[in-house]
Each structure stands twice: as structure tokens, then as C-alpha cells.
Amino acid sequence: MHYRQPTPEERARAVAALQALLAGHEPDLNGVPLRISHELSATLLTGDPGWGTIAVRGSPTLLIEVPHPGSDRFTARLGRDLFDAIPTAALLVAGVHRRHADVAHDSDCLFHAFTQTFAVPELQLHGFAAASAPDTDAVLTAGAGKSTDLHQRLTAALAHQGFRVRHHEHLAGRTNVQGIAAAARGVPFVHLELAPLLRSHHRGRVVEAVTDAWHQQGH
């Protein structure tokens, strides 16, 4: 996958295009390598130089983020499942492997700029190797921020599904730039690390846990 960092002007134009889309207007894509397409009830905005894809519909109340679709296997599929299950969610998927651009640790990338355009809670999906966190199915933190009711409800919902939710500091996402920015804005940020089996074979149960926790928040 070809990738290059957006110029400051391209980043500003791309953000303006997303803002127009969220406001219900046709975005101006002149001067920026983005394309727009429509898929059922969702509108997709895609950056051709490996900038990823964002899917929106209506006025989102939750942003689902997939920063490492190439290396954290099945997280993109899980993100799409969650997008389908939560009508008021938007979905942002990075367009390049993390070895070329680790968007979760790059504040200049378009992925990060897009996350800042939303003033809604963020759920960022990651995956870890089983050996890096033995006897653990999920690690859920607030990244650089503080735990909220949403974190507590999602932890309980995952446990209700029979998943072992445990803390491992090396998987806590403290240096995640989206989490740092969300903490500065006072926006809830859920950094969710999942073991291989949950991503490959138990996505439906993860979706059920997330939707249950989200609905308990009054959504």
C-alpha cells in the first residue's frame, strides 16, 4: 500500500471535507486526494494515498477506530460489525500497515486529524499476541485519560460474556496520541486490546458486550 503523510493544507482540506459531510453537505474534494462513495445507508470518505476510510451516517455519537487493520488481525472486521450494530456510530479505519505509519502514535497523520473532528466518545480497537498477556482475553483502559462509567460498564459486559478482563500496563495505551488528545478535551476514550480468539472466533460476543454497555449509557 502506497502511503505518504498529508501536507498541512491537505490535512486542513480533508478535515473541512469531513466537517461538511457531518453537516449533511456535499464535501469539496478539490486539492485533496479523497474520494466519496455511498454504501447502503453509510457514506464513505477514502484517502487514496493510504489515508484510510471513514464511514458516517447521520450525526454520530460514537467513533469506532481501527488504527492497525493490517497487524491487529480481524480488528477491521470487528469495527465493521460494531458499526453495523450501533446505528449512531461512525467508523474510521487506517489505510496502511503500522510498519509504514503507526497512526496511533502520529499526531500529524490524517487518521488523528479525523478523530479530532468528532466531539464524541471514542472506542479504539487493538489486538495483542496471546503470549504477551497470558490468561487474558481483554485489556480495557482509558489510555491517558480517566476511567468513566462507560469503561466500567464495558468491563462488566465483557466479563458477563465470560471473558477474562485483566490489566497489563504494557497494553494500556498511555502514549496513544488519540487517547492523549481525548483526555485533553475531556472526551471518553476506550482503548480495547483483544486476544486473538476474541478477534477471530468471538467477535459476535464482543459486539454484544459493547452494544450492551453503550445502551446502558442511555444511547
| Domain locations along the chain | 8-216
**Cβ atoms of residues 46 and 34 within 8 Å:** yes
* Between 40 and 197, residue with greater pLDDT: 197
Strand ranges inside 94-143, DSSP E = 122-127, 138-141
Mean pLDDT of 23-30: 93
* 121-137: burial string, b at 16+ Cβ within 10 Å, e else: bbbbbbbbeeeebeebb
DSSP 5: P
Q: Which cell numbers in the block locate residue 129?
A: 499476541
Interval 178-187: pLDDT, tens = 999 999 999 9
Interval 97-125: pLDDT, tens = 999 999 999 999 999 999 999 989 999 99
pLDDT of residue 1: 56
Q: Which residues pair with 91 in a beta bridge?
A: 55, 64
Q: Which of 33, 23, 39, 13 is nearest to 114 (CA)?
A: 13
Q: Which residues pair with 138 in a beta bridge?
A: 165, 194
Give the global pTM: 0.97
SS3 161: coil
Interval 33-63: pLDDT, tens = 999 999 878 999 999 889 999 999 989 999 9
> Residue 90: is its pLDDT beyond 80?
yes
Q: Where are the alpha helices (DSSP H) in the chain?
A: 8-22, 75-85, 110-117, 149-160, 177-185, 196-200, 203-216
Q: Which of 189, 99, 186, 197 is nearest to 151 (CA)?
A: 189
Task: Tell me how crowded residue 164 is: count the other CB atoms within 10 A of its CB.
Answer: 13
**How many CA atoms lie within 13 Å of 89's alpha carbon, on the beta-carbon side?**
22
**Cβ atoms of residues 62 and 121 within 8 Å:** yes
Q: Which cell numbers in the block locate residue 135?
A: 490468561
Superfamily for domain range 8-216: Poly-gamma-glutamate hydrolase, zinc-binding motif (3.40.630.100)
Q: Report d(CA 97, CA 82) in Å as an integer.
A: 21
pLDDT of residue 31: 87
To which residue does cell 482475553 refer?
137
